Chain A
Amino acid sequence: MCLTHTWDNPMQFVLACVSYAVGLGNVWRFPYLCQMHGGGGFLIPYMLMLVLLGVPLFYMELAIGQKMRLGSIGAWRAISPYLGGVGMASVVTSMYLCLYYNVINAWSFWYLFHSFQSVLPWAECPVNSNLTGPVEECERATPTQYFFYRETLDISGSIEENGGIHMGQALCLLLAWIIVYLFIVKGVKSTGKVVYFTATFPYLVLIIYLIRGVTLHGAINGVKYMFTPKMEQLAKPTTWINAATQIFFSLGLGFGSLIAFASYNQYNNNFEKQAIVVSMVNSSTSIFASIVTFSIYGFKATFNYESCLERVRLLLLNTFDLAEDTISLENVNHWIAELNRTHPEQFASLGGRLETCDLEAELDTAVEGTGLAFIVYSEAIKNMPVSQLWSVLYFIMLLLLGMGSMLGNVIAVITPLSDLKFISVLSYLVGLVCLFCLLLGLGFTTRSGNYWFTMFNDYGATFSLLFIVLIEVITVCYIYGIKRFEKDVEDMLGHRLNWYWKIMLAGVSPILLIALFIFYIVNYIQGGTPTYQAWNKELGKSVVTEYPPYAQAFIGLLLASSVCCIPLTALYTYCKKRNLASGKRERTVSTVSA
């Protein structure tokens, strides 16, 4: 890269890494894992995996980028010509990520624009055509689910049923890509200025939400639930596996973004300190965001619990014709027992209509991913006072987090392509990539688009990344050689590699990665046919459905396409070198003979 393409100051680089690493996964995946694996106790495997796996690999990628000063393809080719495919695989995976990740930003835009109404559209069910009651689908599900599945996505019943493009979604996707283009069009000059905002503003919103969250009624239930550790979860291996994968994907290793960011650094930039800082910031943001999430969870659960109690109270009042102020919310349960005792037949006639209200059960409903962000959170927001303000703030935060991560994804694709010098003018290259991703991304805005989105989300990056990073670590430590790596680092930083980095990079991380890799394969094989959650209109809830054969083939293609780059490129380089060598031998022979 030319000297002119650098960050203005090291702060921009750190903020870019923070903006990339702190993304939607911190807000919606970490709280879910925390809840699934025993609350406060999950922090132990999480911190352990951060120290053993996350920070050393992060350090390694920054070192490679800063040393080679090229994007992922060029950098890996420079390290070992046979393993240039690693960079290629990174670019392919990043491309898949670019395709589907911006759809989340499109949804955030959609929700943001819909927040500017006096009544939030997901607060109430719309009325049906006869004006007799709410729309049936909305009645069976909840208004927030109806808004997400019907009005936002207009989702079909299964992945096979296609439909037209949702115009609103397409417009929002177009907007999202135009904004990404604007952020990257001038290379790191523009990106460097944008990351000041995208990295810091989400924290402001998180702090505001923290204050709002902990002052909500019932928030303390959620926070207490999160922090009570259930130590028995630590005995399960899935807890440790999930902690490792969370660290892994949260830091964004293996996509080539970190290498791309670091390639714009000054040669002697102290990336060691920065690696530690960014990893710590990322993890603390996860914990901070989960406090916010859990206080809002607690509020929602308490609200639902109290609504349930109110419904039971009304039911009892109406069935037994008691005066209104005899039963209050506090003594509902006492009255249930009392009425069961005194009027058993009438009580039995209530039958299934009497709900059991359980706060624990409400808190236990763990949701992750897009479900958490767009359904659970918006349900909690609609019950807050001045809900429009909180809605706008929340979706702006989601947008900034998503845009920050998109910057890293697109730069991971742009940097190697600009190294290859296909198109010399940067703005044209960026425009071409954005246009290409936009056109393909329109496929995710069709009626079955969400199912394809889930497929990409679950399979597009998980397995291939593990493989890529495993090859990366083995390449750097054993093929390139840890001694050469050590010398390069000393050249850049001025001091030798610490024993910690050496042990982790050469020993612990590869072993952990191999274990993770084996676990994934075993899990995939044992899991049987891959399934997905299809939204059933009649039932008003999601139903587990198997993927049709062509979709399964597509999953295989997704996995294979990025992983295959590595052996294919190795083979190609090997053949080329052999041809070159045999070509030289022929020429030398001919001159001698002549």
Chain B
Amino acid sequence: MPSLTVPPGAPPILQSLTVPPGAPPILQSLAVTLERMLVRILVLLYLAGAPALAQTLCQPNASNGYRVRISIKTALGNQAYEWNENEMFLFRATMAFAMRRYYKTETYNVDNIIVCNQTRRVSFWFVVISPENPTMLIPKADVEKAVSMSRHRINNAFLLTDRTLEFLGIYPTLAEPVNPDTPPWLIVFGVVIGAVFAGIIALLVSSLLQKRRKEKGMMEDGQDEEDRQMKGVENGINLDGIYNRGFTDDDRFTKL
């Protein structure tokens, strides 16, 4: 005999369906069938409403959701692939991977990543549901940290870069600037100034050698040098003359 007692947690409509004990048997069986139908309808509604409930969790401008924008053709040009459901599946799997990596658990699955509002641009919104409680969303900050941690892996899964796979609101951490010990310009400067100093030393050495050669030459014909210098200066004006070596002063003719 079906129990005519209504379970305590049942919705009020079921409770109002209780038939008074003295009712005829037809009424009683009717009540039971109605009860069963209602329960089934409610279960069906619940099952149907679950994804709808999940869908309401993912909305554009959701407080815990992020917008993703993908520019495949800009990144890959001729080798661009088509964005389809399989790629979307890969995205959700990658996001689940990122969440697993961040929380260091193995509970996240593809179903925990919900995607909505896909456009032709290839942009969409996504939210992450907690695996324990399907109605609870993972807060924005945690999602951001998870994405930043695995950004490189996510980019590589799609052959994209930080610029072509954009998570609007999550700024990519830029590469650490390479700081060499000696700035490269100083190296080139050192080379050039070394060459210049070598030139100065060469100049000094060559002028020293020249001076020594001149000194040697002066000792040999010192007399002629003195004559030339004396004859060159007259009235303070330098005469541009060349000493005529053909001139000899030692003729033996008597002076008249």
Contact = CB atoms under 8 A, between A and B. Distances in A.
A575 interface: no
Contacts of B199: 182
Interface in B139-189: 171, 173-177, 184-189
A9 interface: no
A133 interface: yes
Contacts of B196: 175, 178-179, 182
Contacts of A182: 196, 199-200, 203
B254 interface: no
A322 B184 contact: no
A175 B193 contact: yes
Given A175-B192, A175-B193, A182-B203, A116 B122 contact: no
Contact of A321 (B123, B186, B200): B123
Nearest to A175: B193
Contacts of A116: 184-185, 187-188
B240 A132 contact: no
B188 A113 contact: yes
B238 A321 contact: no
Nearest to B241: A3
Interface string A1-26: 01100000000000000000000000
Given A178-B200, A179-B196, A317-B121, A324 B73 contact: yes
B120 interface: yes
A131 B120 contact: no
Contact of A131 (B174, B186, B193, B203): B174
A110 B185 contact: yes
Interface residues of B, number: 31
A590 interface: no
A418 B201 CA distance: 24
B3 interface: no
B200 A318 contact: no
Contacts of A133: 171, 174
B123 to A, nearest CB: 6
B96 interface: no
A132 B162 CA distance: 13
B115 interface: no
A117 interface: yes
Nearest to B72: A324
Contacts of A127: 174-177
Interface string A103-130: 0000001101110110000000011000
Nearest to B177: A127
A171 interface: yes
B16 to A, nearest CB: 50
B171 A323 contact: no
Contacts of B207: 427
Contacts of B240: 2-3
A330 B138 CA distance: 44
B120 A172 contact: no
Task: Kindly name the residue among B186, B203, B207 whose own CB sees the greatest number of chain A CB atoms within 10 A.
Answer: B203
Contact of B184 (A112, A117, A168): A117
A185 interface: yes
Interface in A486-510: none
B119 interface: yes
Tier of interface size on chain A = 20 to 34
Nearest to A317: B121
B200 A114 contact: no
B174 A323 contact: no
A90 B54 CA distance: 87
A109 B185 CA distance: 10
B100 interface: no
B122 A324 contact: yes
A318 B69 contact: yes
Contacts of B192: 109, 113, 175
A325 interface: yes
Given A116-B185, A175-B192, A182-B203, A2 B238 contact: yes
Contacts of A324: 71-74, 121-122
Contacts of A185: 203
Interface string B222-242: 000000000000000010100
A109 B188 CA distance: 10
A113 B120 contact: no
A133 B171 CA distance: 9
Contacts of A131: 173-176
Contact of A113 (B123, B173, B177, B189): B189
Task: Kindly name the residue among B176, B193, B207 whose own CB sees the greatest number of chain A CB atoms within 10 A.
Answer: B193
A574 B122 CA distance: 90
A113 B240 CA distance: 48
Contact of B73 (A2, A322, A325): A325
B121 A318 contact: yes
Interface string B90-120: 0000000000000000000000000000011
A131 B162 CA distance: 14
Contacts of A317: 121
A321 B122 CA distance: 8
Contacts of A114: 184-185
A182 B200 CA distance: 7
Nearest to B166: A318
Contact of B185 (A168, A322, A323): A168
Interface string A295-318: 000000000000000000000011
Contacts of B189: 109, 113, 171-172, 175
Interface string A94-109: 0000000000000001
A114 B188 CA distance: 8
A40 B74 CA distance: 41
A321 B121 contact: yes
Contacts of B193: 171, 175, 178
Interface string A559-585: 000000000000000000000000000
A548 to B, nearest CB: 34
Interface in A1-59: 2-3
Given A117-B184, A127-B177, 17 more contacts: A2-B238, A109-B192, A112-B188, A114-B184, A116-B187, A116-B188, A127-B174, A131-B173, A131-B174, A132-B171, A175-B196, A178-B196, A182-B196, A321-B121, A321-B123, A323-B121, A324-B122
Instruction: List the 10 closest A-B pairs by CB distance, nearest first.
Output: A321-B119, A113-B185, A321-B121, A323-B120, A324-B73, A113-B188, A3-B240, A114-B185, A127-B174, A131-B174
18 contacts: A113-B185, A113-B186, A116-B184, A116-B185, A116-B188, A117-B184, A131-B176, A133-B171, A133-B174, A168-B185, A175-B196, A182-B199, A318-B123, A321-B119, A321-B123, A324-B71, A325-B73, A427-B207
Interface of A: 2-3, 109-110, 112-114, 116-117, 126-127, 131-133, 168, 171-172, 175, 178-179, 182, 185, 317-318, 321-325, 427
